Amino acid sequence: MSIPFSQRPSPVIVIIGTFIDTPTPRTLRVRRNHYCIISPTTGKITHLAPVSANHDDVVRILGQEVYCNSIVIWLLSSQFVCPGMIDTHCHAPQYQQLGSKNNLPLVALPDIFVLIEA
């Protein structure tokens, strides 16, 4: 039995760094030196804004009582966040099974053969 997301105990998460999104199908937006606040009750982004040169906006926001127990994540310059509901995965090619003519359904293969991936 799983606990609904809104009832899971979790702190506010604040991420500071680079964020990449696609507001339209033909636009890639890169937001460097931004901060993002994620709600602990919904898991959704509540704030996404640029960090000022002296970081006073982040300090001011994190100084509020609601954010005093936040988890703050500072990303490295080589890291970024790409928020959204996207399924980013790939399957390893299975060329070695190609043409094996075993006449078995794909579901039965793991029980009989060790498939070689990559």
pLDDT tens, position by position, 29-75: 999 999 998 888 888 888 889 988 777 777 777 777 777 788 889 99
More confident position, 110 or 28 = 28
Which CATH number do you get for residue 27?
Answer: 2.30.40.10
Which pLDDT score, from 0 to 100, does residue 118 have? 45
Which pLDDT score, from 0 to 100, does residue 12 have? 85
- C-beta of residue 115 within 8 angstroms of C-beta of residue 53: no
* Predicted confidence (pLDDT) at residue 98 exceeds the cutoff of 70: no
* Predicted confidence (pLDDT) at residue 97 exceeds the cutoff of 60: no
Range of the domain at 58: 5-74
Q: What is the mean pLDDT of the chain?
A: 76
Q: How many domains does the chain have?
A: 1
Residues 6+ apart with CB under 8 A from 20: 28, 29, 30, 31, 80, 81, 82
Q: How much is the pTM?
A: 0.60
Percentage, residues of the chain above pLDDT 70: 62
CA dist., res. 83 & res. 1, Å (int): 28
CA dist., res. 40 & res. 9, Å (int): 8
Residue 42 located in a structural domain: yes
Residue 98 located in a structural domain: no
